[in-house]
């Protein structure tokens, strides 16, 4: 049975909400779905409770912030990936191609060595990501418009920061700091709190909003620059906004949850298979798909075993085969 386009959008819009409620019962402490609904409804209605009080603590203090962060980061990383793929006109581009993830990872590693985990380390991760994009811009120069040069500069900066991350691991205390750095860089939402949401939501919300508003202009980047200028579009400004917004999304994600790979690469492909190549449709669909995808991944990470698995392991184990299947189905073409 063929699903209508409107029906598809309704289903995809409801999916993150339904999943967000459903997964609140999963984790080391299993909570029945009826109890989850009851806890949520009691907070709205003010009715008395008939379940252990610890359920409310687990749901409201631990799992709701984590679910909201998974939705935010998954959607943001997918939107950043889709926007960069549209700008570069290359479906193999991911949101860390400009070295932002490596730069933010270095900032986090340095912060952990100096202060341990906490707000200063998150700010260092954010600054590291911004430093990476500044170095890329410095290498590219003002007069260069070549996408190839931009990507090459990103590869150079990424290699530099990867080396610096290795240096931080080498000098870190092997009993305390090194395990923390290693676990952080593998990505996890285990320590997410409402304070982290207060940091991430404004930065990522603004960046996602900018890319959302620019989504129709991203389609125009396939035209020659002369034609774009004749239409009154500043190509440099448009690309700069896309790059800076994507950078803020990736850097903020690393700052609050470590490096989470594959989301920005795989999800836009899935979105295109559902709605076509028009970025006006791809970016909203990527937002919805990415939110649901990372939420499922995080739920698996905290439910599969007694010891929580880092998110990046699961995103790679699931993302790589899915991406290979998508490439095979499309026969290497970007549809």
Confidence of residue 176 (pLDDT cuts 50, 70, 90): confident
* Per-residue pLDDT, 143: 58
- Whole-number Å distance between alpha carbons of 109 and 318: 27
Buried-exposed string 199-220: b where 16+ CB fall within 10 A, e elsewhere: bbeebbeebbebbeebbebbeb
Confidence of residue 335 (pLDDT cuts 50, 70, 90): very low
Q: Where are the domains of the chain?
A: 5-330
Angle at 206 between CA 205 and CA 207, to 5 degrees: 95
**DSSP per position, 48-72:** ---S-HHHHIIIIIIIHHHHHHHHH
* Per-residue pLDDT, 38: 86
Lowest mean pLDDT among 140-154, 303-317, 321-335: 321-335
| 53 burial type by CB count under 10 A (0-12 exposed, 13-18 middle, 19+ buried) | exposed
* Per-residue pLDDT, 3: 62
Structure-block tokens of residue 209 = 């909003």
Confidence of residue 274 (pLDDT cuts 50, 70, 90): very high
* Per-residue pLDDT, 117: 77
CATH 1.25.40.10 for the 5-330 domain, yes or no: no
* Residues 125/104, Cβ–Cβ less than 8 Å: yes
Residue pointed to by tokens 């080391």? 28
In the predicted structure, residue 207 carries a pLDDT above the cut 80: yes
- Whole-number Å distance between alpha carbons of 159 and 123: 22
| Inter-axis angle of helices 64-88 and 279-303, nearest 10 | 140
| 192 burial type by CB count under 10 A (0-12 exposed, 13-18 middle, 19+ buried) | buried
Mean pLDDT of 125-150: 81
3 DSSP 8-state letter: P
Question: HSE-up of 320 (CA within 13 Å, CB side)?
Answer: 5
Question: HSE-up of 260 (CA within 13 Å, CB side)?
Answer: 36
Residue pointed to by tokens 């982290």? 196
């Amino acid at each position: 049975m063929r699903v209508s386009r409107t029906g598809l959008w309704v289903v995809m819009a409801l999916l993150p909400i339904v999943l967000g409620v459903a997964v609140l019962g999963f984790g080391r402490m299993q909570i029945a779905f009826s109890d989850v609904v009851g806890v949520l409804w009691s907070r709205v209605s003010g009715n008395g409770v008939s379940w252990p009080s610890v359920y409310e603590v687990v749901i409201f203090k631990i799992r709701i912030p984590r679910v909201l962060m998974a939705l935010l980061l998954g959607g943001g990383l997918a939107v950043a990936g889709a926007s960069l793929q549209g700008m570069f006109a290359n479906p193999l581009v991911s949101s860390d191609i400009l070295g932002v993830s490596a730069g933010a990872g270095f900032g986090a590693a340095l912060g952990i060595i100096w202060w341990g985990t906490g707000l200063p380390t998150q700010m260092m991760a954010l600054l590291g990501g911004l430093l990476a994009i500044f170095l890329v811009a410095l290498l590219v120069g003002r007069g260069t418009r070549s996408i190839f040069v931009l990507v090459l500069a990103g590869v150079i900066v990424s290699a530099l920061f990867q080396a610096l991350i290795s240096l931080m691991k080498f000098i870190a205390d092997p009993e305390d700091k090194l395990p923390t750095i290693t676990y952080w860089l593998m990505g996890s939402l285990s320590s997410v709190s409402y304070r982290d949401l207060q940091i991430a939501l404004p930065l990522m919300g603004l960046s996602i909003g900018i890319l959302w508003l620019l989504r129709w202009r991203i389609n125009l980047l396939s035209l020659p620059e002369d034609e774009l200028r004749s239409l009154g579009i500043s190509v440099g400004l448009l690309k700069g906004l896309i790059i800076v917004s994507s950078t803020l999304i990736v850097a903020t994600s690393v700052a609050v949850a470590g490096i989470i790979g594959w989301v920005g690469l795989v999800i836009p492909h899935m979105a295109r298979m559902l709605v076509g190549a028009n970025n006006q449709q791809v970016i909203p669909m990527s937002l919805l798909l990415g939110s649901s995808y990372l939420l499922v991944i995080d739920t698996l990470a905290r439910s599969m075993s007694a010891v929580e698995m880092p998110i990046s392991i699961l995103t790679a184990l699931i993302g790589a085969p899915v991406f290979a299947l998508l490439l095979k189905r499309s026969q290497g073409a970007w549809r």
